[in-house]
Amino acid sequence: MRRYTLLLSLCMLSLVAGNAAGGMIVQHFDAAGSLVREAGKASLAPAPAHTTRKYSGAQTLGLRPDVRYEFYPVFGRTFAEIVRSAEENGPYNRKTRKRQTSVFSWSLGWTYQLSYTTENDEENEKVHCDIIIHDVTLSYDITITLPVLTDDSFLNDIEKDLWKNYIAGLLEKEHSRVKVVKDNTQDVILRRIGEIIYLMLDTAQESEAEGLVERYVREETARIGKETVRQIQEDLERYNAEKEEKPSTGLLKDPPARQRRF
């Protein structure tokens, strides 16, 4: 036993295992990538899809279960009138100072648990902290706003198909944005958070290890959040620019002559 103790003394290293830093850590980010301080312990579970009830068009198309859908009413006795109603009554965009027929909004957040082990290096007067971040849950709060026709009884079959295709086009555009925000980022976020594995402290800081480890991890994941949001914003701007460059099919602005009203 004395020989074993002597060997440990020569190595001057001791391992202290099984430390948990605090409880569940919750972080949520605004559109600028800044932490939302009031996130607190609120649930960041994905929002359920909006029930479309009997609304014409949207309920027959593929809606994502991880997206919240909101609707504003549009009216008209022809396809052209309904599209004009959507263009005139859609949500107002303060940035472009124009109304939009569909709107996409999103925010990002996550929760995780943190634990760590410490190794005391007395020779170098350092404490090596091995960090484990686990039970990571990502949360994307995504809302898509669409026009909804509450009464399609005035439309003939051709116009109903035109309206259905119109809504399908809006959904395709907004669901592409969902892919940019969510589908293209999940693996990258998890990988980057998983790379936070080590922190070195001075021996004098050993008694404060729990708080220092938690602060370090919070700061690192907050940095990941800010950079991820900035990258998503850039990707969305690039996607929007590409969509604007594509020529219009003319379907919406130039309906068949039989549908025009003068």
pLDDT in tens, 37-66: 754 444 454 444 444 444 445 555 788 999
Q: List, for residues 184-206, the tens digit of each pLDDT value.
A: 899 999 999 999 999 999 999 99
SS3 78: coil
Q: Is the model more confident about 244 or about 220? A: 220
- Provide the percentage of residues in the chain whose pLDDT is more than 70: 76
Q: How far apart are CA 27 and CA 41, in angstroms?
A: 9
Helix (H) or strand (E) holding 133: strand 126-149
How far from chain centre, in Å, is Cα 132?
A: 24
Tokens for 61, please give them. 């198309």
**What type of residue is 65?**
P
Q: List, for residues 102-154, the tens digit of each pLDDT value.
A: 999 999 999 999 999 999 999 999 999 999 999 999 999 999 999 999 888 88
Give me the sign of the Cα torsion angle 71, 239, 163, 259: positive
Average pLDDT, the chain: 81
For the chain, the structural domain boundaries read: 2-254
